[in-house]
Amino acid sequence: MVVRTLPQYPIKKGEPAYKIWIFEPGWKGELPLITNPRQLAEQKRPALLPGHRLCAGCAAPIIVKLASLAFRGPTIVVSATGCIEVATTIFPYTSWAIPWIHNAFENSAATASGIESAIKALKKTGRLPYDHVDVVVFAGDGGTYDIGIQALSGAAERGHDFLYILYDNEAYMNTGIQRSGGTPKFAWTTTSPVGSVIPGKMEHKKPIADIMVAHRIPYVATTTPAHWIDLMKKVRKGIEVNGPAFIHALSPCDRGWRHAENLAIEISRRAVDTCYFPLWEWTPEKGYMLTDRSLSIARNPKLKQPIEKFLELQGRFRHLLKPENRHLLKELQEYVDAMWEDLLNRATNAPK
C-alpha cells in the first residue's frame, strides 16, 4: 500500500499549503463562498494539487482551481477525455484532492447522470451520510460541442442535478490541435491549415451556451478565468440550482492558440473586452443577464475594443493581420458586432 502524504511547506497562518478534502460522514453545512483574496488564500485550498502535467501557462487548471474554490461541500468530479483528464491523472498519479472519475470522450454527462441517480438512491434509502453530494463535470470543447452533445442534451432533458463546466480551448488540443465545432472562423489548426486554399477554419463557432439555453435548464452562464469572481459566483449558482447547469468557460491554450506562456489571463480579458466572448448568465426567470465587464461595456460602449486586440496576441490568427487579408478581419469584426448586438437585444439588464 502506498502512503499518500502531502509535502509540508511552513505556513504561519491559515490552512496548510496543500490539502486533501475530507468530509467525515455526517458532515453538515456549506462551505462559504469567499471572494476576498486574502481570506481565500488563508482559508481555502483548491481541489487540484500541483504536479499535474498541463502545459506551463495553460488556463484550464486555473478554471478548475477557481471552480473548486466555489464548491459548497462534498463533490464528485467527472472528466471527459481531454487535456484536463490526461494531464491530471497520469498513472499512477492523481492531482485531484476530491473523488474523481474518468469516462470516455463522449459520455461525461451520462456518467454524471448515473452518479447523480446513485446519490439520489442512496439518499432515499438513508445510506448517504451527507445532506448533499454535488456532481461537477469538466469537459473540453471536442467532448462537448461535438462528440458529447447527445449525452449532454439527454442529461439536460432528463433534468439531472449536476453542473457541467465546458473548458473551451477551441480545438482538440491533447491530440494535436484539430479543429472542433468550438473553433472560431479563420483560426489555424492542423486540420484547418492556413494557406493559399483556405484562410483557416471556414465555419463559425457553434453557439453552445445558447443551445443549452434552448433546453431551458435552470442555469446557463459564460465566464473566463480572468474574471475570477464572476467565475466563482457562477459556479456556486450552478451548483446550488436544482437540475442541470451549464457553464461555458473560455480556456486559452498557449500550444494551440500559439500565444506566449504568460498571456492566458490577458487573452481571456481581451476576449471579453472585444466582445468576442461576452460574459452573461441565463435563468428561466430572468432570461439573459450580462455580468461583470460585459455589463460595463453595455453601459459604456466606449470600452469595447476592436477585435484585433484579441487576435494580435495569437499566432493562430496571425494571417488575419496581413494587409491582403483585411477583408477577412472586417468580416470577423462584423460578425462579432452582430453577435454582440443580438445579445444586447436579448439581455434584460442591458440599457435600452
Ligand X SMILES: Cc1ncc(C[n+]2csc(CCOP(=O)(O)OP(=O)(O)O)c2C)c(N)n1
Q: Which of 146, 266, 308, 312 binds another protein (CB under 8 A)?
A: 266
Binder of residue 255, out of ligand X, ligand SF4, another protein, none (CB less than 5 to 8 A by kind): ligand SF4
DSSP-assigned letter for residue 83: H
Does residue 140 interact with Mg ion by CB under 5 A?
yes
SS3 of 190-229: the string is CCECECCCCECCCCCCCCHHHHHHHCCCCEEEEECCCCHH
Does residue 11 interact with another protein by CB under 8 A?
yes
Does residue 271 interact with another protein by CB under 8 A?
no
Does residue 83 interact with ligand X by CB under 6 A?
yes
Residues 71-108 as b or e (16 or more Cβ within 10 Å = b): bbbbbbbbbbbbbbbbbbbeeeeebbbbebbbbebbbb
Q: Which stretch binds ligand X (CB under 6 A): 69-77, 128-136, 168-176, 191-199?
A: 168-176
Does residue 88 interact with ligand X by CB under 6 A?
no
DSSP-assigned letter for residue 142: I
| Cell (9 digits) for 317 | 490568427
Binder of residue 123, out of another protein, Mg ion, ligand SF4, none (CB less than 5 to 8 A by kind): none
| Cell (9 digits) for 24 | 467525515
d(CA 286, CA 295): 15
Burial environment of residue 285 by CB neighbours within 10 A (0 to 12, 13 to 18, 19 or more): exposed
Pick 66 or 289: Cβ nearer ligand X: 66
Would you give the binding string for ligand X spanning residues 102-141, x where CB under 6 A is met? --xxx---------------------------------xx
Does residue 94 interact with another protein by CB under 8 A?
yes
Binder of residue 38, out of another protein, ligand SF4, ligand X, none (CB less than 5 to 8 A by kind): another protein
Q: Of 210-229, which residues contact another protein (CB under 8 A)?
A: 225, 228
Give least dist CB 148 to ligand X, A: 8
Give me the amino acid identity at 2: V
Pick 217 or 250: Cβ nearer Mg ion: 250
Q: Which stretch binds ligand X (CB under 6 A): 25-33, 77-85, 151-159, 339-347?
A: 77-85
For the chain, the residue count is: 352
Quick check: helix, strand or coil at residue 231?
helix
Which residues, at least 6 apart from 158, have a Cβ–Cβ distance to it below 8 Å? 113
Does residue 287 interact with another protein by CB under 8 A?
no
Does residue 58 interact with ligand SF4 by CB under 6 A?
yes
**Residues in contact with ligand X by the rule CB under 6 A:** 81-83, 104-106, 140-143, 169, 172-175, 180
